[in-house]
Structure 1
Amino acid sequence: MDWYDAVFELIDMRSFSNLWYWIALAVVWSTTSHWVLGVPYDMVLRARDHGGEAESDLRDMVRINTSRQLYIAQVSGLWLIALVSMLLTGLAILGFFYGVEFAQAVFLIALPMTFVGLLTVSTARGIVQHQSVGPDLHRRMLNHRRATQVIGMVSIFVTAMWGMYKNLDVGAFGP
């Protein structure tokens, strides 16, 4: 067995039967639900429970991150929409029309993350428009986190169902 075969035996290129894909999926959604608008969620809880300096720190972090998100959306939003649409379309065609399993796997992570990105911009816009502080800010951050978690749960469920289907399909009929 040469080096090339050893590497590809270790890193199975069939995504849905690969443990590393499922670990990466769990890390993506765990990280995404922990970082609410770029702010760690424990910071939101600490500000809600203790107030004072923790609340001031939260306000500053949210102000910096919402300004950044809205600036990016305003300056390059249309280009980002075009680029992401092109990439998602390419992945969908490669994955589901041509049957490239790796493209299916990336698509099943990228599409829901696109919804999280849109939700992030929407939440940032709402925080800035309503000048949210204190309990209103905490509520908006909590709602954003819950919505992200719902998107993540649906995404993981759909990905698991598709992955099981692909594994059973390949297992039954060969590669």
Structure 2
Amino acid sequence: MDIYATLFEVLDTRSFSNMWYWIGLAILWSTASHFVLGVPFDLALKAKRQGGERMQDLEDMVRINTGRLLNIAEVSGLMLTALAATVITLLGVTGFFYGVEFSQAVFLMLFPMSFVGALNIRTAQNIASHAPTGEALISVLRRHRFFVQLIGMVSIFVTAMWGMYQNIVTGPLGG
């Protein structure tokens, strides 16, 4: 058995036919929908059920993470937006104009996450301005999670369709 052949078979650079890409995509969206504004969503469910100290912990964590997000957006938001737009544009051009499959794959992961980032900042601004507590805060977090999951479902569907198309076009050996 040739070690190099085995290694290159496992580390295939054709992203859409690589199992590791799909595992990474699933982990990306699973993590994005589980951590709502950086707070694990199961903490919100426990706070709703048990109330009291758990609810106070949830409110404190949301307040801290909201402050962090808004501070990052205020201090370096313009620079991060420019950098993200540059990277996403480069990936889009090299991927779809020049046909680099790896760029297509990374673009299909990062582009939808830019919407999640914008949604995070919008929700953080909403929480900072209205200061919801208790059930109202959990409702805001639940609505935010729903939209993140909706973006994720659309993203996974589009990525799967594009990936199947790429696998059909390139064939089993990358032809």
TM-score where L is the length of structure 1: 0.96
Matched positions, count? 175
Structure 1 segments of 4 or more deviating over 3 A?
Answer: 1-6
For residues 20 and 173 of structure 2, the distance between their equivalents in structure 1, rounded to whole angstroms, comes to: 24
Q: Which residue of 2 aligns with 1:16?
A: 16
For residues 38 and 20 of structure 1, the distance between their equivalents in structure 2, rounded to whole angstroms, comes to: 25
Q: Please give the residue correspondences for 1:1-150 in structure 2 after superposition, counting only pairs within 5 Å.
A: 3-150=3-150
Amino acid at match of 1:151: I
The CA RMSD over aligned residues, in Å, is: 1.4
Shift of 1:7: 2.0
Shift of 1:2: 5.8
Q: Which residue of 2 aligns with 1:152?
A: 152
TM-score where L is the length of structure 2: 0.96
Q: Which residue of 2 aligns with 1:167?
A: 167
Deviation digits for residues 28-76 of structure 1 (CA, Å, limit 9, x no counterpart): 0001100000000000011111110000000110011000000000000
What runs of 5+ residues in structure 1 fail to find an aligned partner? none
The share of aligned pairs that are identical, in percent, is 58
Deviation digits for residues 3-23 of structure 1 (CA, Å, limit 9, x no counterpart): 544322221110000011001
